Amino acid sequence: MTTINWGIIGCGDVAEIKSGPAFNKVKHSKLIAVMRRNTEKAKDFAARHQVPFWYNSVDELLANTAINAVYIATPPSTHLEIAKKCLAAKKFIYLEKPMTLNAIEAKELNAIVSENDTIVVAHYRRKLAPFLKVKELLDSKIIGDVTLADIQILQSKENNIITKTEEHWRLKPVISGGGYFNDIAPHQLDLMYYYFGNIEKAEGFSSTTNKDNVHDLVNGIIKFKNGVQFRGVWNFNATKKEAKDQCKIYGTKGSIHFSFYGEKVILNTEHHQEVFNFINPKHIQEPMIAATVAYFLTKKNNPNSVQEGLEVMKIIDCFIK
């Protein structure tokens, strides 16, 4: 196998810009089919992105033997079922976050793929330059031994960091798992796991202050096995004026500040401050898709395994219990 021929299941808003076009930009990668239940929208996406095949059925797409990998970009409530079908059809999988509806489903998926890891979870920030720079700085020990990581995500209901859909399924827990927190926290918590490793203990609590019955105020703390402590707050009822997207990592010799939707990393040490600026790609998942294609072709270095995705889902469930 020299080329990964992709099929997308769920060619909606996320696939339109963030991911879809990148499958044809990455080396040894081609997008050859898309699927959406709405036939006209599937045809339209295929026509605009020059995709040769379109379907309105998962089974029909999986029957295309030219496809050897599938990007699952449907709502979380469908991820486990579709992943099982893809695995039965012997397809590689790039699975959109959150990996599943909850940790119970994540454990089931992990058990299925534990001996044959053919899934990559789309926690794509791991491969973006700002977050790789943070990892480099942490590994260099320039801020000494890390003691605390602090996340504050304060957003209004009219925020612009969350992908909007016609159906507003992110505000339906039976489909999303738990509202905007379940939609954006996987990226943030995955980076904490990526930076600090295995978790010793996690605790959290949440509340619902709106008619949608989703968790819109979430607090959580983590103690990592290496001694690093974490605290985070996600508030989706803040005013626009109070909006904040911030992570601060404190060490014995300094700190690192960055945002999850920005392109800047700030390093503070005892004697100086240094600012690193970056430009993220237009199709923001492109670096992760490139790493995923390389993994599928070589079977070396899974950029984000189901086991890691399971750890993130366990934290999410812990925080919103």
Q: Give, in order, the Cα–Cα distances in Å from 303 to each of 83, 122, 142, 252.
A: 18, 9, 25, 30
Position 166 scores a pLDDT of 53
Position 149 scores a pLDDT of 99
Q: Is 44 left (phi over 0), alpha (psi -120 to 50) or beta?
A: alpha
- The SS3 call for residue 210 is coil
* Distance between CA atoms of residues 291 and 306, nearest Å: 15
What CATH number has the domain spanning 129-280? 3.30.360.10
Q: What is the pLDDT of residues 68-87, one digit of tens each?
A: 999 999 999 999 999 999 99
Q: Is the Cα dihedral 161, 202, 97, 277 positive or negative?
A: positive
Find out whether 178 and 320 touch, Cβ atoms under 8 Å: yes
Position 160 scores a pLDDT of 53
The domains of the chain are located at: 4-122+284-301, 129-280
Position 167 scores a pLDDT of 56
- The SS3 call for residue 42 is helix
Q: Give, in order, the Cα–Cα distances in Å from 66 to each of 1, 53, 62, 136, 171.
A: 11, 11, 9, 39, 36
Distance separating the N- and C-terminal Cα atoms of the chain? 44
Of 297, 229, 282, 288, the C-alpha closest to 21 is 282
* Distance between CA atoms of residues 132 and 159, nearest Å: 26
Q: Give, in order, the Cα–Cα distances in Å from 313 to each of 16, 96, 306.
A: 26, 13, 10
Contacts of 146 (CB under 8 A, 6+ apart): 138, 196, 228, 249, 250, 251
Q: What is the pLDDT of residues 1-27, one digit of tens each?
A: 899 999 999 998 899 999 999 999 999
* Distance between CA atoms of residues 218 and 204, nearest Å: 7
* Distance between CA atoms of residues 284 and 124, nearest Å: 8
User: Facing residues of 222 across strands?
Assistant: 202, 230
* Distance between CA atoms of residues 153 and 236, nearest Å: 8
- Let me know how long the chain is: 321
Find out whether 180 and 290 touch, Cβ atoms under 8 Å: no
* Distance between CA atoms of residues 256 and 275, nearest Å: 10
Cβ atoms within 10 Å, residue 178: 27
Cis peptide before 98 (omega within 30 of 0): yes
- The SS3 call for residue 296 is helix
0.75 surpassed by pTM: yes
* Distance between CA atoms of residues 106 and 313, nearest Å: 7
Position 161 scores a pLDDT of 53
Per-block average pLDDT, block size 10, for the chain (321 residues)? 96 92 98 97 96 98 98 97 97 97 97 87 96 99 99 83 62 88 96 98 92 88 99 95 97 98 97 97 97 96 96 97 82
When the candidates are 3.60.21.10, 3.40.50.720, 3.30.70.330, 1.10.3720.10, the CATH number that belongs to 4-122+284-301 is 3.40.50.720
